[in-house]
Amino acid sequence: MPIDTRLKQFETTWVPRLNAPLQAAIDQDSGDPRLAEAMAYSVMAGGKRLRPLLTVATLQALNVPFDEERDWRPVMALELLHTYSLIHDDLPAMDNDDLRRGEPTNHVKFGAGMATLAGDGLLTLAFQWLTATDLPATTQAQLVQALAVAAGPGGMVAGQAKDVQSEHVDLPLAKLRVLHREKTGALLHYAVQAGLIIGQAPQAQWTPYLQFADAFGLAFQIYDDILDVVGTAAELGKATQKDAGEAKNTYPGKLGLAEANQALIDTIQTGRQALAALPAGEGCDLLASFFSYFDTKRVKA
């Protein structure tokens, strides 16, 4: 299933716009050249910029214009934090991966010590960028609070901890959903939440957006699990078939490929139904188009 034309046009417009200031901004805010190089290496290594794109798309759904001076750093803060999580996830003490997006992982390139520091630098710089803005102080505080909750010991880090502890342990599906909601879904939830906060949407209007975000986060994880089985290393830019080899809990492992794919289809439908509660328009259509990232025909019936 090809990516929706609307989404492709959105990416073509926004990915270069989001990327253009990145290298210079990281260099400017780093006090050591080698550290800045290691930080920038992983941030600039590619990727769809999915999380900041979700934030920008949410702003568009709210009809709130993107102000480059005011919004760029707060929007891209999540990409810094996401990249820190990938660097640490790849470390020898965690997943011990050698490839990320088809390139050597940070610790392979710079050593485990510098890679750890690069992750630390990106994590803390993310919060600096949330407040390096003319957004109102209350908005800044909301963003900091929300990202800390999403990324910290009640969110992504909790999910990572569960993941480490659950290897070679047969988790019930309900507990696997909790693990993935924290490990993967929390930052995608925040990506949409950040748009609602920056756009100053009344909280009474948040629910459908966040239901969409949570469905998207679950679909993302299910699809990632499926691709680990049916994808290739060349296609994904990283090793495949690792989850089964490491006895990790996955949706295909629990349900089989066909049922995991059906769970993906059902989850996408849940997300589309959430968006149907919002006023019709280009903005909501754009958010719905993000589901076209997931090719539900990869698994043959």
More confident call, 245 vs 164: 164
Token pair in block for residue 273: 């139904």
Q: What are the structural domain ranges in the chain?
A: 3-293
C-alpha triplet 273, 147, 206: angle, nearest 5° = 30
Within 13 Å and on the Cβ side, how many CA atoms surround 96? 6
CA atoms of 279 and 284, how far apart (whole Å): 8
pTM: 0.93
Residue 102: the pLDDT is 86
C-alpha to C-alpha distances, 232 to 227, 268, 297, nearest whole angstrom: 8, 24, 16
Summarised one tens digit per residue, pLDDT across range 114-127 is 999 999 999 999 99
Give φ, ψ of 103 to 5 degrees.
-120, 160
pLDDT exceeds cutoff 90 at 189: yes
C-alpha to C-alpha distances, 106 to 38, 79, 93, 156, 163, nearest whole angstrom: 7, 16, 13, 20, 21
Residue 233: the pLDDT is 66
CA atoms of 58 and 51, how far apart (whole Å): 11
Residues in the chain, how many?
301
pLDDT exceeds cutoff 80 at 282: no
Residues whose CB is less than 8 angstroms from the CB of residue 50 and which lie 6 or more positions away in sequence, other chains included: 188, 191, 290, 293
3 state SS of 262: helix
DSSP states of 13-66: HHHHHHHTTHHHHHHHT-S-HHHHHHHHHHHTS----HHHHHHHHHHHHTT---
Where residue 299 falls among pLDDT bands split at 50, 70, 90? confident
3 state SS of 243: helix
Arch. (CATH architecture) of 3-293? Orthogonal Bundle (1.10)
- CA 183 to chain centroid: 10
pLDDT exceeds cutoff 80 at 63: yes
Mean pLDDT of 20-40: 97
Residue 3: the pLDDT is 76
Residue 174: the pLDDT is 93
pLDDT exceeds cutoff 90 at 137: yes
Summarised one tens digit per residue, pLDDT across range 138-165 is 999 999 999 999 999 999 999 999 999 9
pLDDT exceeds cutoff 60 at 224: yes
DSSP states of 180-198: HIIIIIHHHHHHHHHHHHH
Residue 2: the pLDDT is 63
Mean pLDDT of 92-111: 93
